Amino acid sequence: MQTSLLLLLAPLLVGSSCAFVPSPLSDQTISTTCIPSVTSTTTRTRSCAMMVDPNVLNSISPVDMTTLVAAAVGAATGAASQQPRIAQLNQELAQARLALNQTEMDMETKMNALHDKLFEMDQEYEAQTTRFQRQYDTRMKEQLQQTVDKLKQDYEMKLEIALQRDRSSKLSKQLVQVNGGMDRESELS
């Protein structure tokens, strides 16, 4: 009777962790082997095959058997009562993972957009720098040309002044010579 009672209790252990149940009367334990099987995506069942030493069964009194039955029923009830909570937590975990994946995808999209924008800004900067360089070069050439033209004009003016002084000096000498020759002629005459 005790063996059949334990075998009847085995299906009640669904959802509980099957392990070693200590015997209240001795140092021996009743071991159970659990074989998990998944029947659907939401419900898990375990079939537990009880392997009980016959000497241990014979040494269990009806009071101890009642304690074992109460413990087994309590464990089964506790495990069964946690199934909705576990299902809810699994659902929340799945939703959190979906949200995390969506957030990662959004962040990657934003990072790619920022990378593209940074690349475009770099291209614009290079184009603008090239444009500024050309404008600067053009201004510098114009300033250089203006400076060259001014120096050339100043040089030509100085040259013209020097030539005018030279002419003036030559003309003065010639005038002195002509005047000196006329004075001699007038003295001779």
What pLDDT is stored for residue 54 in this prediction?
A: 65
Rounded to 5 degrees, φ, ψ at 45 are -125, 155
Bigger pLDDT: 47 vs 54: 54
Angstrom distances, CA of residue 37 to CA of 42, 58, 83, 99: 12, 32, 16, 30
Rounded to 5 degrees, φ, ψ at 30 are -95, 120
Per-residue pLDDT for 189 more than 80? no
Q: What average pLDDT does this structure show over 106-125?
A: 96
Alpha carbon distance 21, 60 (integer Å): 13
Alpha carbon distance 6, 9 (integer Å): 5
Angstrom distances, CA of residue 59 to CA of 24, 148, 149: 10, 123, 125
Rounded to 5 degrees, φ, ψ at 108 are -65, -40
CA angle at 174 for the pair 171 and 178, rounded to the nearest 5°: 135
Q: What average pLDDT does this structure show over 62-75?
A: 75
Strand partners, 51: 31
Alpha carbon distance 16, 79 (integer Å): 5
Q: What average pLDDT does this structure show over 100-116?
A: 97
Mapped onto helix, strand or coil, the DSSP state of residue 18 is coil
- Report if pTM > 0.85: no
Give the chain's end-to-end CA distance (angstroms, integer): 183
Bigger pLDDT: 156 vs 45: 156
